Structure 1
Amino acid sequence: MRTVHLAVARHARETPGAIALIHRDRHYDYRTLHAAAGAYAARLAARGVGPGHIVPLLMSRSPELVAVQLGVLMCGAAYSSVDPHWPRQRLR
């Protein structure tokens, strides 16, 4: 089975300097994205996140959101992205 976080890890190994994402005027390479995702995964795992967990992510769209999403997947968990700009009623 192919997964997004494993594909990013493969690109980080094979083409670490290649651009993984662009946000506004900044470019982020696979090495940087994968390292950030790994750091988030370690922090999440230390808090007990693992397979079977669903992690709500209340974050705006950003490179950090992508890294956190990948970190959650690295833990074997799932995530639900929640936009902090949504109306309160929807956030509940």
Structure 2
Amino acid sequence: MKTWAFEAELWEYSGKGSWHFVTVPPDIGFQIRSESAGGLPGFGQVAVDATIGDTRFHTSLFPDRASGSYLLPVKAAVRKAERLSAGTSVGVLLGLR
């Protein structure tokens, strides 16, 4: 399975709820889009295995028009386990499921 590693800032969505995301760098987003044949039907999500620190989890990347890439949602359980908050730079490992 192909994997991608990168570092990016964890940020909190300013709308309703307290969603936290990491924006996948555009060059990696392009590679993921090419490898995944456009993602899942519907919103274009891409199923991935993600690792941040020692925490591995399953989720879906969501297309992001603003960056032309994808957003990786980071659940509260992952943020708590890794002691992360918005503004923290995190190392991410992604692999397609």
**Is the structural similarity TM-score above 0.5?**
no
Compare the two structures and name the one with the higher helix fraction.
1
Compare the two structures and name the one with the higher strand fraction.
2
Work out which of the two has the higher radius of gyration on C-alpha atoms and give 1 or 2.
1
When normalised by structure 2's length, the TM-score is 0.25
